[in-house]
A and B are shown apart, each in its own frame.
Chain A
């Protein structure tokens, strides 16, 4: 964008790029170029090769075959070409402050005053992307909420850092942000692209893709199966191109009847038998804490009865869910061990049978359930956590924003599974940052500042009602 010739040249150009891990063809010959001013929406199922493509573009992986070039800048490396990545799994150092985290990827900050410069630069970047963010540059990262961490990570991606960001890759950037903050990010992306920058935007939320992308590519099994200007796609067309036929949105069911009240909390949250109760509101307003308190209060640190009264599906996989040294099998069955044990010893045949059953039912993408859990992509790890909870007989299932990083097709499957289980008398408490998911619930509690600001049910559950309840009390 500095001269007429460079403006025309793509920032990055891939020619037949492929990446193989052993027999797995994670990327199977992709040709792609991204020009200044473009916002490329990248969609595909979990394990379609999106993350691998991103890592080949940003230099994290070198392709097994084919080439990656940076014609606009003529630089030999992604770093020199101004390619930045913001990952789905947070990569900040929690023990350092926000400003110090900027320094990690900004080698030009030197000398005695580097902290001052870092504070200034990160504050500026945050103000630009998220006006009114309320994050102090001196705050240690571990004191921030998960949404705030994601905001810092995005701001670092867009910060000048001594050179200039030319291509920013955002992998599921909005999965832990609430609607208002996500909107700020989308408008910043539009401004950034209008000024000649380029963005690769990966999201499972198709609404966001349509809102921001100028061009959309669809990946499947390591290949690009569609590459068109965004205007040529319809929502349904996109889902079809990904290779999963989403079932028609279930017809609004007749009002179901529920059993007796099985859950009550001090905040005023209640749930009846067979009911799907949603928790909504802006991210970080006490929903996750309320669910954690509920779960920890209902179960014991000292006893594990054969029939657990409640199970928990974690959304923050690394902190709350995955047992990283173990196989998929052991991760999936850890909550039902007392039930499948004989005289204290685990019945391993029964265990394998249950794991194989759930692998098929929920579609965990692996050859063998004895592979390590960390060999799976993030969305597939999440499926294992779902299997862990649903495999138990617990009458109440608590879900703390469990759909982060899960693709559209799996989401539909899990929705259907949740509805079926609820019909059989199970109760679900479901916190989600995605309004679309909350609208699947029978009843919704909207949280604001750790308290319930509204209780909606039936036809009252709409995006507008939820949003207005999220903000109402702030204006009062």
Chain B
């Protein structure tokens, strides 16, 4: 059975189960609201998860821990530049993308020139990014321009706009990985960096582009999240540190590198939102909720990896 061997299957099965269990409790009412909310909130996790997936595909030791700080910095600077003035949405997006390019460039410079392990380089650099965000924010909460806020919280044919942006980005990444030369180079570098270099692949360019892509995705997510929630907050990125890695792993991307999985990231992002709302609706307290979430994640990862091992 070929479908059973698809590594993304398990995250979607888990998301569907969490959805069904929640809806069962409410007797079927609120199903569409739940699906809408899952898509909206899941989209943020999916966008940062896609970036993290690319980095993890580069192979063992590659991970970007500066995602939360980059989200915060991009959200803060973009809203400050726009200053709630109408018609500045694209300017704000441009600022956010520039912030993403800047932090990505800084991360990769530390990794390449100073030969720091990515885990150290991105974590240390993120302290700087967070400090800049604190310094430029100064406790002010600037509202996004009205049109942008409407877009971020709005919907199109019943699907939230944020989810549509996330889906569009996913399609781009999928085409890149499956069809493009650059995607092939990334997948080859993740399997065996030395062999990839000896096959003529410009591995450092591939690594640089990947570390830039992850922060640009984080910056876009930060910009959308700030617009969605009515302003940037200094802790807005915190939960996405674990989330970005969890959705990649649950989604079936290999931690050993060289294999990516776009649909799995979406399944996992929906699951991560749905499992919390399921536990909420069953009345679990905060402590119980965290323990159960952790246990369920471990269970999914084990289920997914044993499936793959028997392939």
Query: Which residues of A come within 8 Å of B, CB atoms?
Result: 292, 295-296, 299-304, 308, 311-312, 314, 319-326, 330, 334-335, 337-338, 341, 344-346, 348, 388, 392
B276-301 near A? 1/0 per residue, CB < 8 Å: 00000000000000000000000000
- Determine if A301 and B202 form an interchain contact, defined as CB atoms under 8 angstroms apart: yes
Contacts of A302 in B (CB 8 A): 202, 204-205
Complex partner residue of A299 from B200, B254, B258, B259, CB under 8 angstroms: B200
B185 contacts the other chain (Cβ, under 8 Å)?
A: yes
Q: Please, which residue of chain A has its CB at the minimum distance from the CB of B254?
A: A325
- Determine if B200 and A335 form an interchain contact, defined as CB atoms under 8 angstroms apart: yes
- Determine if B200 and A322 form an interchain contact, defined as CB atoms under 8 angstroms apart: no
Contacts of A345 in B (CB 8 A): 175, 179-181
Selected A-B contacts with CB under 8 Å, 18 pairs:
A301-B203, A301-B204, A302-B202, A311-B200, A320-B194, A320-B198, A322-B192, A322-B195, A323-B199, A324-B191, A326-B187, A334-B184, A335-B199, A335-B200, A337-B181, A337-B185, A345-B181, A346-B180
Complex partner residue of B181 from A301, A303, A325, A346, CB under 8 angstroms: A346
Contacts of B205 in A (CB 8 A): 301-304
- Determine if B199 and A388 form an interchain contact, defined as CB atoms under 8 angstroms apart: yes
Given A304-B201, A323-B188, A326-B188, 9 other A-B residues pairs in contact with their CB atoms under 8 A: A296-B197, A304-B202, A304-B205, A312-B199, A323-B191, A330-B184, A334-B196, A341-B180, A344-B181
Known A302-B202, A324-B191, A325-B259; judge A346-B196 contact (CB<8 A).
no
Contacts of A320 in B (CB 8 A): 194-195, 198
Task: Provide the bound-state CA to CA distance between A344 and B184, in Å.
Answer: 11
- Least Cβ distance of A425 to chain B in Å? 20
B36 contacts the other chain (Cβ, under 8 Å)?
A: no
Tell me the chain B residues, 199-244 only, with Cβ under 8 Å from chain A.
Answer: 199-205
- Least Cβ distance of B294 to chain A in Å? 30
- Determine if A338 and B181 form an interchain contact, defined as CB atoms under 8 angstroms apart: yes
Complex partner residue of A295 from B187, B188, B198, B203, CB under 8 angstroms: B198
- Determine if A344 and B182 form an interchain contact, defined as CB atoms under 8 angstroms apart: yes
Task: Provide the bound-state CA to CA distance between A300 and B208, in Å.
Answer: 14
Q: Please, which residue of chain B has its CB at the minimum distance from the CB of A321?
A: B195
- Determine if B180 and A334 form an interchain contact, defined as CB atoms under 8 angstroms apart: no
Tell me the chain B residues, 249-283 only, with Cβ under 8 Å from chain A.
Answer: 254, 258-259
Contacts of A388 in B (CB 8 A): 199
Count residues of chain B with CB under 8 A from any CB of chain A. Answer: 26
- Least Cβ distance of B204 to chain A in Å? 4
Max chain B C-beta neighbours (<10 A), residue from A300, A303, A304, A348: A304
Contacts of A300 in B (CB 8 A): 202
Task: Provide the bound-state CA to CA distance between A273 and B198, in Å.
Answer: 22
Task: Provide the bound-state CA to CA distance between A216 and B173, in Å.
Answer: 56
- Determine if A323 and B202 form an interchain contact, defined as CB atoms under 8 angstroms apart: no
Task: Provide the bound-state CA to CA distance between A103 and B246, in Å.
Answer: 39
Complex partner residue of B199 from A292, A303, A324, A334, CB under 8 angstroms: A334
Q: Please, which residue of chain B has its CB at the minimum distance from the CB of A310?
A: B200
- Least Cβ distance of B192 to chain A in Å? 6
- Determine if B258 and A325 form an interchain contact, defined as CB atoms under 8 angstroms apart: yes
- Determine if A341 and B204 form an interchain contact, defined as CB atoms under 8 angstroms apart: no
- Determine if A303 and B195 form an interchain contact, defined as CB atoms under 8 angstroms apart: no
Contacts of A344 in B (CB 8 A): 180-182
- Determine if A334 and B197 form an interchain contact, defined as CB atoms under 8 angstroms apart: no
- Least Cβ distance of B201 to chain A in Å? 6
Q: Please, which residue of chain B has its CB at the minimum distance from the CB of A394?
A: B200
- Determine if B202 and A341 form an interchain contact, defined as CB atoms under 8 angstroms apart: no
Task: Provide the bound-state CA to CA distance between A388 and B182, in Å.
Answer: 18
Known A301-B197, A323-B192, A325-B258; judge A346-B184 contact (CB<8 A).
yes
- Least Cβ distance of A339 to chain B in Å? 10
- Least Cβ distance of A238 to chain B in Å? 35
- Least Cβ distance of B62 to chain A in Å? 16
Contacts of B198 in A (CB 8 A): 292, 295, 312, 314, 320-321
Contacts of A301 in B (CB 8 A): 197, 202-205
Task: Provide the bound-state CA to CA distance between A301 and B181, in Å.
Answer: 15
